[in-house]
Amino acid sequence: MIAPGDDPLPALSPVDGRRIGQAELHDTLAARNLRLTPGDLLTVKVRRSEVPSGSEAYQEFQVPYQKWMRLLDALNWIADNAAADLAFRWFCGSKMCGTCAVRMNGREVLACWEAVEPNMVIEPLRNLPVIRDLVVDRTAYEDRVASLEPWIERREPYAEFPEPLTHKQMKDASNALDCISCMCCYSACPVIGLGNLTDFAGPAPLVQLGQTALDPRNDPEKVRRSLERTGIFNCVSCYKCEEVCPAHIPIVSRVIEPLKAKAAQLVPEMARHSFALRNIVAHRGRVDPGALVLSVQGLRALSNLRRIWRLFVRGKINPIKTLLGMKTDAAAAAGRLLGDETGKP
Amino acid sequence: MRVVTTDVAVIGGGAAGCYAALSLSKRGIKPLIICKGLVGKSGASLFAGNLVISGRALGNSEDNARNTAEFLIKYHNQFLIDQNWARRCGQWIEQVYYPELEEAGLYFRRDDSGEIVTSPGKIRSIAANVQGNSGVPFMDLRRKQVIKAGIARMEETVATSLLQNPDGSVAGVFCLNYITGEYTAVIARAVILATGYSDRLHTRSTGTREMSADGIALAWRAGATLLNMEMQWWHTNDLAHPPSWQRMQIYPNPMLGSEKSARMLNSAGEEFFNQQQDDPLAFGPYTVQLKALVKQVRAGKARYEGGYFAGFDNCDPAEVETYTTYGKTFRQLGLPFPAHMAETAVSSHYRQGGIDVDTATMRSSVPGLYAAGGVGGHSNGLIGLATYDGHVAAEGVARDLATLKQASVPQTLIEAECRRLESLRNSYGNGPAPGRLKEDLRAVMWEKAGVEKNASDLRSALDDIERIRVELMPGMKIRNSGKSANYEWLDAIDVMNMIDVCELVIHSSLERKESRGPFIRTDFPLTDNDNWLAANVLTKSGNGLRFERRPYELPIFAPGFSTKDNLEVAW
């Protein structure tokens, strides 16, 4: 046992892929906190909606550090002592309700869960309209989740409690069940940041869908209907969502990738691009952008001659190689690895 | 201002409110949920750590079933409970609750071979997905069921008053969406209050931000009878730091898949509580822990604000973390787990008391007003009990609906309420901010109506509250009178409810002249079953209050003694 009351040196979290950068810099929460002692002043710049004319949109506060202080404590201190009209949303204060997410120094965090830093810039989440100060309008997100109908429909009538089910079957869904809809990932997602340019549902709605779509009890027909509305293949697997998830859900690897696999199986036309890419690599041993565009877009790809010319001049495409279907030395290995599937379902 | 008409207004979006609304909707009765937070995302239901196995479900033995009932009646409610209601509730949980939840998709945690993982011991429990976090998937499922059923929701909307007909019966609810600033008068044939167990009425409290005793205050003003308002539960092992983690508990309950549970140490490092050794029947051992702590405080080895410790240093990390979330707090602080014992403190938790209801229908003493879940005074909580209440309230309303008429809009009342809220939004005094007054009230409750109470402190607390009411509240100052997301305005509305309910709690505490379970009077240290195995019933009379005692029937379990030092009583 460690003597009660001692604050031992922080144990560095084991390095895991989602925390690279933070771990290298010894930037764990504890390490950040241990630099501070109670009473030290933190500088907190908060983005405000209404500021006196002429001043910048950020208001600065000096907040005394309290032991094990969370960002939420700093915001509460500001509301109690310096700016009673600061608007920020929170309910549970213990990482359950998922309503207090904001951006701290450019990174999405849960205010109740994240340790303070000596200098902080606090801003509302991105990709959602700001109502006031740090309060965003969740409606677009909630509507998106509801449109995916993230619930179970059974093919067979439910028999009795408990029904046959193993944790192994539920593993991916179980990961997704840790989601508290805080929308950190929704704010961090660069594809959502493109607005209406894609029909991508976004990471959080997909995790919400994954809770039931990855559940073996759900009717595949129901899952198919939901997946059709996700635009899931717009996900570029950049892992930004995993990086910020306060619940440590492996969003890409354990939710989005399994959902993509399901979509490829249940709604193959959604996965045309992926199948085409796989097919080309398997046969040619390389990515051939020309062939990829042709097989996804067909002859439509030829409609923009200027773009084709630009791509050709820059060496991005080589029509001769594409037409001849030339293979690289890696073709045999790629074929072996990816199998000899045609790529067509 | 909008006027909305519905069959039933359900105030509260937790376990009780959601289930009431779902049950009504299934019967073709139109509910509208008014939730101060977000349905399924605010309030106490989210905090459900696990689900206690009721009756003979999941291989429970006859003994297990009896132990669970005994635990509920003794340790959870200190016999201040309608035991017949408890029996009905247990049967419903066994027969309806689990199958319905699983059918809807709730994942009761299995192991790889497909067995549902339980905690061992005299009383067994299971978890939704993971222990310590069961409320999250549970309430998320309820939220989605509500959406799927097409039930109307008004979220981030505070009910500010009950609208009453001239005969006193409830005709609807007035509310404010504090995000948009829009007023709505909801006209309904019945209102179900389901605002929950906990409120933030003490400096340290498990009640969440939005919980300011609104349900109790609204019901009281409408003339409802209350009971046992003094019966306040406490957590003894919530983190002492930081302030926002005052409801982050080191769970003392048995763990899934392990024979061990957390233990508590005093300032000298001596163990003073370990559920598995000290009282295995105390499945949720909060009162037992509290009594152990009181002895430590009196011996100078702990303070209610801290100076004692809790953790899992007696366990293997894998043992704790395979099925529970209990390690997350330590890990987030970068503390060695499970070696580190964290400093803990007391937080006020559930209130056992609340609105007096007929437990067969959940009718309150006011026609048209029903209560479900923690806001009722008939039991103290588990998420299953709150859900059962939602079911009974829906049944009660359905049965009464033919006699409940849709009233016309009581226009003068609506105008008066608009004026009251507008004047709060334009509080331009020179005094403190409303948020400050909330903290002042909490401080009075913490210092003078805390764990250990006595008449002189309680009277002094009443004086302090009177001073806040007379001297500070009229000069309240709001910096920004905007309508949108104005949390200062919300604080000003909250503080009116809090101050009334604090007063009722203190009066009720003065009235119960004994100690019982978590209710500890230093001037009346005995548990007195001869005189106080009774509900402490509180009614409005003229401008004052009237108390009367209503004894409980004891059809199943009885305490078996007349009087005894409360600290020596197991429960």
Alpha carbon distance A153, B96 (integer Å) = 19
- pLDDT > 90: percent of chain B: 94
Residue B213 shares a structural domain with residue B358: yes
Question: Which of A4, A96, A217 lies nearest to residue B105, judging by beta carbons?
Answer: A217
Residue B332 shares a structural domain with residue B225: no
Residues of B in contact with A13 (CB under 8 A): 331, 334
A265's tokens = 């199986």
Residue B317 shares a structural domain with residue B371: no
Rounded to 10 deg, the angle between the B434-448 and B455-467 helix axes is 170
Residue B214 shares a structural domain with residue B271: no
CA atoms within 13 A on the CB side of B149: 26
- Cβ atoms of residues A33 and A69 within 8 Å: yes
Q: Which of A161, A163, A212 best tests the B interface by mutation, with the highest count of B CBs <10 A?
A: A161
Q: Give A2's DSSP letter.
A: P
- Hey, is the C-beta of B439 within 8 angstroms of any chain A C-beta? yes
Report whether pLDDT(B361) > 60: yes
Rounded to 10 deg, the angle between the B214-221 and B487-511 helix axes is 70
Q: Which of B47, B324, B332 best tests the A interface by mutation, with the highest count of A CBs <10 A?
A: B332
Q: Which of A73, A85, A139 best tests the B interface by mutation, with the highest count of B CBs <10 A?
A: A85
| Predicted pLDDT at A31 | 61
- Hey, is the C-beta of B322 within 8 angstroms of any chain A C-beta? no
Q: Is A56 part of a structural domain of the chain? A: yes
- Hey, is the C-beta of A165 within 8 angstroms of any chain B C-beta? yes
Residue A262 shares a structural domain with residue A300: no
Residue A147 shares a structural domain with residue A257: yes
Q: Is B379 part of a structural domain of the chain? A: yes
- Hey, is the C-beta of B182 within 8 angstroms of any chain A C-beta? no
Residue A24 shares a structural domain with residue A107: yes
Q: Is A71 part of a structural domain of the chain? A: yes
Residue A93 shares a structural domain with residue A180: no
What's A45's domain CATH number?
Answer: 3.10.20.30
Does the beta-carbon distance from B42 to A177 stay under 8 Å?
A: no
Q: Is A194 part of a structural domain of the chain? A: yes
Residue B159 shares a structural domain with residue B93: yes
| Predicted pLDDT at A10 | 46
Alpha carbon distance B394, B372 (integer Å) = 9
Q: Is A44 part of a structural domain of the chain? A: yes
Alpha carbon distance B347, B300 (integer Å) = 19
Q: Is B258 part of a structural domain of the chain? A: yes
Out of A1-5, B168-172, B474-478, pick the least confident: A1-5
- For chain A, the average pLDDT equals 88
Q: What would the pLDDT profile of A4-55 be if each residue is shown by its tens digit?
A: 444 444 444 444 555 544 544 455 555 655 678 899 999 999 999 987 665 6
List alpha helices for A99-152, DSSP H: 139-147
The Cα of A75 is separated from the nearest Cα of chain B by a number of Å equal to: 10
Does the beta-carbon distance from B148 to A149 stay under 8 Å?
A: yes
Residue B539 structural domain:
427-568
Residues of A in contact with B114 (CB under 8 A): 164-167
Residue B431: Cβ within 10 Å count: 15
The Cα of B397 is separated from the nearest Cα of chain A by a number of Å equal to: 28
Residue A108 shares a structural domain with residue A82: yes
Residue A256 shares a structural domain with residue A148: yes
Q: Is B313 part of a structural domain of the chain? A: yes
Q: What would the pLDDT profile of B457-493 be if each residue is shown by its tens digit?
A: 999 999 999 999 999 999 999 999 999 999 999 999 9
Chain A CA closest to residue B36: A91
Q: What would the pLDDT profile of B111-134 be if each residue is shown by its tens digit?
A: 999 999 999 889 999 999 999 999
- For chain B, the average pLDDT equals 96
Q: Is A9 part of a structural domain of the chain? A: no
Three-state secondary-structure class, residue B176: strand
Report whether pLDDT(B272) > 80: yes
Residues of B in contact with A33 (CB under 8 A): 333-334
Residue A86 shares a structural domain with residue A144: no
The Cα of B507 is separated from the nearest Cα of chain A by a number of Å equal to: 29
Q: Is A248 part of a structural domain of the chain? A: yes
Residue B95 shares a structural domain with residue B216: yes
Report whether pLDDT(A344) > 50: no
What one-character-per-residue DSSP string does A296-316 give? Answer: HHGGGGGG-HHHHHHHHHTTS
Does the beta-carbon distance from A84 to B488 stay under 8 Å?
A: yes
What's B57's domain CATH number?
Answer: 3.50.50.60
| Predicted pLDDT at B531 | 98
Residues of A in contact with B439 (CB under 8 A): 80
Q: Is A11 part of a structural domain of the chain? A: no
The residues, ordered by sequence, that sit 6+ positions from B59 with a Cβ below 8 Å of its Cβ are none
Does the beta-carbon distance from B485 to A13 stay under 8 Å?
A: no
Chain B CA closest to residue A91: B209
Residue A276: Cβ within 10 Å count: 19
3-state secondary structure B180-205: CCEEEEEEEEEEEECCCCECCCCCCE
The Cα of A88 is separated from the nearest Cα of chain B by a number of Å equal to: 8
Question: Which of A70, A135, A217 lies nearest to residue B244, judging by beta carbons?
Answer: A70
> How many domains is chain B built from?
3
Q: Do you find a cis peptide bond into A319, omega within 30 degrees of 0? A: no
Residue A22 shares a structural domain with residue A101: yes
Residues of A in contact with B57 (CB under 8 A): 161
Residue B440 shares a structural domain with residue B475: yes
Q: Residue window 491-510, chain B: list those with CB within 8 Å of chain A.
A: none
Q: Do you find a cis peptide bond into B338, omega within 30 degrees of 0? A: yes
The residues, ordered by sequence, that sit 6+ positions from A216 with a Cβ below 8 Å of its Cβ are A165, A169, A170
Q: What would the pLDDT profile of B207-262 be if each residue is shown by its tens digit?
A: 999 999 999 999 999 999 999 999 999 999 999 999 999 999 999 999 998 999 99
Q: What would the pLDDT profile of A246-291 be if each residue is shown by its tens digit?
A: 999 999 999 999 999 999 999 999 999 999 999 999 988 988 888 8
Residue A55 shares a structural domain with residue A102: yes
Residue B242 shares a structural domain with residue B201: no
What's A252's domain CATH number?
Answer: 1.10.1060.10
Does the beta-carbon distance from A112 to B340 stay under 8 Å?
A: no
Out of A38-42, A98-102, B526-530, pick the least confident: A38-42
Q: Is A8 part of a structural domain of the chain? A: no
Does the beta-carbon distance from B478 to A151 stay under 8 Å?
A: no
Residue B302 shares a structural domain with residue B378: no
- Hey, is the C-beta of A299 within 8 angstroms of any chain B C-beta? no
Residues of B in contact with A91 (CB under 8 A): 37-38, 41-43, 208-210
| Predicted pLDDT at A29 | 56
| Predicted pLDDT at A207 | 98
Q: Is B141 part of a structural domain of the chain? A: no
- Where does residue A17 rank: exposed (0-12), middle (13-18), buried (19+ CB within 10 A)? exposed
Residue A290 shares a structural domain with residue A259: no
Residue B228 shares a structural domain with residue B251: no
Q: Is B299 part of a structural domain of the chain? A: yes
- Hey, is the C-beta of B110 within 8 angstroms of any chain A C-beta? yes
Residue A91 shares a structural domain with residue A53: yes
| Predicted pLDDT at B543 | 78
Q: Is B416 part of a structural domain of the chain? A: no
Residue A187 structural domain:
139-154+169-266
- Where does residue B88 rank: exposed (0-12), middle (13-18), buried (19+ CB within 10 A)? middle
Main-chain dihedrals φ then ψ at residue A88, nearest 5 degrees: -150, 145
- Cβ atoms of residues B97 and B142 within 8 Å: no
Work out the pLDDT band at A324, boundaries 50, 70, 90.
Answer: confident
| Predicted pLDDT at B78 | 97
Residue B242 shares a structural domain with residue B130: no
Q: Is B421 part of a structural domain of the chain? A: no
Residue A237 shares a structural domain with residue A306: no
B211's tokens = 């919980």
Work out the pLDDT band at A3, boundaries 50, 70, 90.
Answer: very low
Work out the pLDDT band at A343, boundaries 50, 70, 90.
Answer: very low
- Hey, is the C-beta of B94 within 8 angstroms of any chain A C-beta? no
Q: Do you find a cis peptide bond into A289, omega within 30 degrees of 0? A: no
> How many domains is chain A built from?
3
Residue B368 shares a structural domain with residue B332: no
Report whether pLDDT(B143) > 60: yes
B449's tokens = 């109506």
